[in-house]
Chain A
Amino acid sequence: MSTEARKPPAQIALKIRRVLGGKTGWNGIAVQLVFAAILGWIGYEIVSNARANLENQHIAAGFGFLRNNAGFDVNQTLISYTGSDTFLRVFVVGLLNTLVVSVVGIVFATVIGFIVALCRLSPNWLLSRIGEIYVEIIRNLPVLFQILFWYLAVLAALPNPRQSISLFGIAFVSNRGLVIPRPIGESGFEAFLAVLVFGIVASLSLRFYARRALFQRGQVIRIWPYMLGLLFGLPLVTMLVSGLPFTFELPQLKGFNFAGGSRVIPEFVALTLALSTYTAAFIAEIVRAGILSVHKGQMEAGASLGLSRGSTLRLIVVPQAMRVIVPPLTNQYLNLTKNSSLAVAIGYPDLVSVWAGTSLSQTGQAIEIIAMTMGVYLLISLLTSAIMSVYGWRVSRSLGA
């Protein structure tokens, strides 16, 4: 009797079955076929209905309308724009406005959020209660409510430009928005910029070199005086040599309004205020949870190694807290960007307002315009989540090592 091992059965069929049908095998494939048929049927219904409806309404499908003249004005543009520009340019203008309000909002939200988190963690009872009240009130009111509150109630209650509130005589707040000094480039601007960039690059490479020296040879190099010199001293010297890089044009009250300076429209002010205070409440909770998630023993272990309290926080507690904080924090940044679409309620010319609002009502190209709007937001959020998964992979790798 032969004792040779039996040949294993052919695996290829099993593998194909597994790939095509999952764990359930042929049943899974049958389910998929039915599902694909239903999806195909729905898709067919949508396309045929859309075609019929568009024909009835005499709307030509396609993106040709992008090259037509828009014919309406936008009250805040980062790039030059007039009513005779194309719809494509309207799209870009709206997108840039969305991005600028998001970036400004994110900066303010982070700052306020960290401050409120520190307040909530403060040993002072009164201060931590104030932080808690802030978080509870802001989180339990709709963000649209807050946007409208700032825009309709608070900003409208501000005085008119003639009696505007002056901030140290350089900026003015009124119901027409915020007027701030406008920087004007002078002759020394290019040299200043070049020196500044050089200073940043040089200090970064200095820091890189110092860290390598510390980790590889155990040598501590004190670099902060050099960095200070590179970042502030060098630009100062350049300014002395080649003159001021820019001067500020101060706003002046002339007649009923301000002349000079740059004007920030009230819609922008209201939207930024509402979005940053709203998101800050969520960020505060995230930061607080992150810092509380680091075990008390870490602080004690750092102290027993002889590190100072500051170094323990900087080198031990904060990196571990950041690991917990960063993913939800990015999520909040994304939420803020998405919430900036509520600008349409107060007429700030963001993507939804000028593109899915004004342009849609002018052209009637609902499918193309809404698909483009959704596509932009989808792209932003997919990009962010891709970056976050890279970050998560790096964190898990550095923890594993």
Chain B
Amino acid sequence: MSDIASSVYVRRDLLAERPAPVKTTGFVGLVRTRLLNSPTNILITIVSALLLWFTIVPSVKFLFVDAVWTGTDRTACLTENGACWPYIQAKLPQLIYGFYPEAERWRVDLTFFLAAVLLVPMLIPRLPAKGLNASLFFFAFPVVSFFLLLGGGITGFGLSWTAGLLQLFDDSIIGAGQVLLNLSKTSAIAPLLWVLGNLIVLVGTAIYWLIFPLTWLRDQLEGTGQSVWTDFAITTAAVSLISFVMGGGVRTGWRPLASTIVTFIAIAIVIKLMGLDHGGLPVVQTRLWGGLLVTLVVSVAGIVTSLPIGIALALGRRSTIPLIRIFSIAFIEFWRGVPLITVLFFATYMLPLFLPGNFTVDGLVRALIGIALFTGAYQAENVRGGLAAIPRGQGEAAAALGLSWWKTTSLIVLPQALRHVIPNLVNSFISLFKDTSLVSIVALFDLLGSLRASFADPKWSAPSTLFTGFAFAGIIYFLFCFGMSRYSLFVENRLNAHRRN
């Protein structure tokens, strides 16, 4: 004990103060530790600084210092060596609206405004009523903006549409049966074809009589003057009844009934407000659309349509039913294996051949179909990743509670899976937004197409207009894509909040 005590050394006098350590925080610290800490690093810093000097300074000079800010035509921009902003000013309406008639441009503005009002609350996680918000954005907004942008009204409602669709389907079935019957006159396996053809015709005829009340009612309605509102009333009654019965009848059906009626009242208000029952707004053909409008329409339509396609394909790919699985795999791999431009060529040149001759599809819609199929395949792989990340126990627990496949999928598995893959979905939306520029190749004037068209104007042909135009369009594209990518990072951080320590 005393040994230890004696060996302990106790300092009696204070040590002299040491100088403060070299500062490693703040700007000075950064310069010391990460810019100038070794000869090689000093060299790299100097080279990098030179690189920045020779790229950023000329750009700033071009965009702001040497730029021309006022003028009426190219003569103003010929003298200076900087950006030609009056050119952008003159072409701005074309870059945003295309050839949309000037008197009707408030409709485009209103659509942009509606989209912003619906989108912003949906993107802020703290705000409530996400379900309502999402359903408004994904279902109500596309319909409303369709009538707002394109114009025109409706002549019927749910009943006539259902009747028309069923009739079309039935006609095609009977047609196919007739073809088989005709073939059976010449073919070697005539009896088989004859039986098959007769069977199909029989099925078609049965369906015809099955839907006869519907078609009869429609024809009666078309005779009266107020066809839209009568049709609307009948549809409301029918859908309400169905939702009431499906929701559990007298026991639990009141809530679905109420929400259905509220939805239909909202639809009625929209129809009345936009005057859809008597013609609606003046029609603006889609070939007059252009600029940022087309870019946004194509992206939003692609986002809205690709998600359901993607979910359906992802579920199909995970299904155990062989035919559905094989079909989903083939479909996904096909669209993912070809470039988007060939898909657009397919939609533009090949699709019209596959549709009945009297059925013409608008050029914009054709591009939209191509983009929806293409993006749907990519979204399917994203969603599949999310589905694979859900532990099996979730589905098994749901099955143990007695939920059906549909309920297990829609209430338990899908909500969790989709939440997992929001960042991936947003990344797909970014590539979709960038890819919309490809529609300019199939003769649609999106932002890039309008920009290219504006270069051809001799009134503004100056050496600097090209760079100015590209700078302007580039800034718009960058703002949208960068915003989305930051949002996806934000969501990712939020989702992984529990994993951080």
Contacts and interface: CB of A to CB of B under 8 A. Distances in A.
A46 B354 contact: yes
Contact of B323 (A35, A367, A374, A382): A35
A377 B339 contact: yes
Contact of A378 (B319, B320, B337, B470): B337
B321 interface: yes
Given A49-B356, A124-B34, A130-B51, A140 B477 contact: yes
Given A53-B357, A149-B470, A342 B49 contact: no
Nearest to A352: B341
A382 B337 contact: yes
Given A141-B478, A153-B466, A50 B342 contact: no
Contacts of B51: 130
Interface string B369-405: 0000000000000000000000000000000000001
- Which residue, A20, A32, A344, A370, has most C-beta atoms of chain B within 10 A? A370
Contacts of B353: 49-50, 53-54, 366-367
B265 interface: no
Interface in A44-101: 44-46, 48-50, 52-54, 56
A28 B352 contact: no
B118 to A, nearest CB: 24
Interface string A120-148: 00111111001000001101111111001
A360 B349 CA distance: 9
A23 B321 CA distance: 7
A339 B339 contact: yes
A36 interface: yes
Interface string B197-208: 000000000000
B354 A41 contact: no
A32 B322 contact: yes
A381 interface: yes
Contacts of B176: 41, 44
B319 A125 contact: no
B334 interface: yes
Nearest to A21: B321
B338 A378 contact: yes
Interface in A1-53: 19-24, 28, 31-32, 35-36, 39, 41, 44-46, 48-50, 52-53
B282 interface: no
A157 interface: yes
B324 A130 contact: no
Nearest to A27: B321
Interface in B130-189: 172-173, 175-176, 179
A341 interface: yes
B425 interface: no
Contact of A152 (B35, B321, B323, B466): B466
Interface residues of A, number: 63
B441 interface: yes
B466 A156 contact: yes
Interface stretch (B7-15, B227-235, B268-276, B431-439): B431-439
A338 interface: yes
Contact of B352 (A48, A53, A338, A377): A53
Interface in A238-294: none
A345 interface: yes
A32 B405 CA distance: 16
Contacts of B34: 123-125
A145 B450 CA distance: 12
Given A32-B324, A352-B345, A145 B437 contact: yes
A356 interface: yes
A46 B356 CA distance: 9
Contacts of B52: 126, 130
Contacts of A140: 430, 434, 477-478, 481-482, 485
Interface of B: 30, 34-35, 41, 44-45, 48-49, 51-52, 172-173, 175-176, 179, 319-325, 327, 333-334, 336-342, 345-346, 349-350, 352-357, 405, 430, 434-438, 440-441, 448, 452, 455, 463, 466-467, 470, 473-474, 477-478, 481-482, 485
